[in-house]
Structures are given as structure tokens and as C-alpha cells.
Amino acid sequence: MAEQSTVIDYVDGTVETPDVTPTPKVKSGWKTVKGVKYYYENGKKVTNKAKKIGKYTYCFDKNGKLVTNKPYYKVSRNAYYKIKKNGRATKLSDVETMAANVLERNKGNLKKAFNWSASLTYDGNTKFAKNTPAEYGVFGFKTGAGDCYVMAATFYWMAKVAGYDAHFVKGYALTKKGKNSHAWVEIDQKVGGKTKTYVYDPNFQHEYGPKGYNGYKITYGAKGTLKYVNYKRVN
């Protein structure tokens, strides 16, 4: 129904017709202010949430600013996103979300994340040798316990979520009694223009760290480390 004007008669005989100009529609869509992108819905900034716009998902902080270039970004306790430079976001999996939670508690520090994995309560009866890195990781994050596979997996996921070129490795460690099945993590890093592989073994740190040995960022064959044999990357 068309809006009707109301005519007001004053005592002096003056007649006034109120302004009934329709209110313009509220704007929705992208807006860039001083190089910062925002997204509006019904005239209000989208804030503190992840939102699918077209084909892609984007995350916005508490002030409505588009979040960009984050290896992991927390929208809620159980929702973390990996965000590209252009702002396109991908929600992390369950195990990656658990890893991000621990990473955040450790302020994103890789060494602290490693020590967290090395501090898990050792449980050699988990019977997990045939499980996947995701299953190992979920078990470790949920229970705070596990064997070498679980310790390696929890650190692997944290390193991966933090943006490192991390790989979960299965193989064997030589001992005086023969060789034992074992798991650890490799991280590839650029050193002087070349790629160098470092070993991170939280289970070794758990067992031998109190004796003065180190399992963090070591190299194969280094003195005071395990002898790793017949190994391969699983992830």
C-alpha cells in the first residue's frame, strides 16, 4: 500500500505536509576503508565470526576487519580457520582444532608445543601401531597420554597447524636388544637456500631428557641421539 501524507492545519491557517521521502535501502556488501576491508549486512559490519560469502568463507575480527594470512585463527573454542593472504578461510579439522587449542595456550611457541607432547603420560599399552596420525593425535589431545606414536602425532599436528613443513615418520630405533618400532617427526626448513631436515622426537625427550639428552631439532646420526633405521614418512 502506498504511504499517505498527513496534512497538518495550524491555528493561523498554515498547512504543512510532512516529508515522506522513503528511507534509502541499507547497504550490504564489501567496503574498503583506508586499505582495510569490511563486509556489511543490513548496514552493519559483520564482526567476530566466520561467514560464507559467495563461494568462499571469510573471518572477521571483533571490529569487523577482514582477517588475513593466519595459519590458525580462533573464531570460537571449537572453530579455528586457516586463512590465506587474500582472506579466504578453511576450517580446521577436529584434530587440527585440538592442536590449535594447545598451540594457543603455548602462545604459538614450537619448543613449548614440543615439550607439551614430550610431557604426555607414557602409556605403552595403547595398541595404536596401525592407526593414522589423526587417530593418534586425537587420542593424545583428549587423554594427555600415549606412546611414541601418540607423542609424535600431537607434535606433528601442532607443527603442521603452525605452518611448518612437518611430516609424521614411522620406523625403528636400534637398541642393544635389537630394534624397536618407533615414531617421530621431521620438519624441513630452508637453510642457506637449501632444504634441511631436522628430527623432533618427543618420546626420546620424554625418556632421556631428564638425563641431559635432547630430542628437539636434532639431525640424523648426531651424537647422543637414537639410531633411526628403516623409516618413512607417513604424512
Give the model confidence (pLDDT) of 107-128 as tens digits: 999 999 999 999 999 987 666 6
What is the rounded distance in angstroms from the CA atom of residue 234 to the CA atom of residue 154?
Answer: 14
Question: Which 3 state secondary structure label does DSSP give 166?
Answer: strand
> 129 or 193: which carries more pLDDT confidence?
193
Give the model confidence (pLDDT) of 21-57 as tens digits: 454 454 889 999 999 999 999 999 999 999 999 999 9
Mean pLDDT of 217-235: 95
The per-residue pLDDT for 119 is 97
Mean pLDDT of 140-165: 96
Nearest one of 44, 53, 187, 176 to 110, comparing CA atoms: 187
What is the rounded distance in angstroms from the CA atom of residue 113 to the CA atom of residue 62?
Answer: 27
pLDDT above 90 as % of the chain? 78
> 157 or 23: which carries more pLDDT confidence?
157
Cα atoms in the Cβ-side hemisphere of radius 13 Å centred on 3: 9
Q: Does residue 102 have a pLDDT over 70?
A: yes
Other CB atoms within a 10 A radius of the CB of residue 132 amount to 14
User: Is the dihedral angle over the CA atoms 41, 45, 47, 52 positive or is it negative?
Assistant: positive
C-alpha grid cell, residue 174: 636400534
Mean pLDDT of 63-86: 95
Nearest one of 155, 163, 165 to 216, comparing CA atoms: 155
Extract the runs of DSSP E, i.e. beta strands, from the chain.
8-9, 15-16, 29-33, 36-41, 44-45, 49-53, 56-60, 70-76, 79-83, 88-91, 121-122, 145-146, 165-175, 178-191, 194-200, 227-233
Q: How confident is the model at residue 1 (pLDDT cuts 50, 70, 90)?
A: very low
Instruction: Find the range with the poorest average confidence among 71-80, 118-127, 144-153.
Output: 118-127
The per-residue pLDDT for 57 is 98
What is the rounded distance in angstroms from the CA atom of residue 109 to the CA atom of residue 201?
Answer: 17
Nearest one of 28, 37, 3, 29 to 17, comparing CA atoms: 3
pTM of the entire structure?
0.84
The per-residue pLDDT for 175 is 82
The per-residue pLDDT for 22 is 52
Instruction: Find the range with the poorest average confidence among 15-29, 115-129, 189-203, 216-230.
Output: 15-29
C-alpha grid cell, residue 150: 601418540
What is the rounded distance in angstroms from the CA atom of residue 205 to the CA atom of residue 218?
Answer: 11
- The domains found in the chain, sorted by start residue, are 1-91 (2.10.270.10), 96-233 (no CATH)
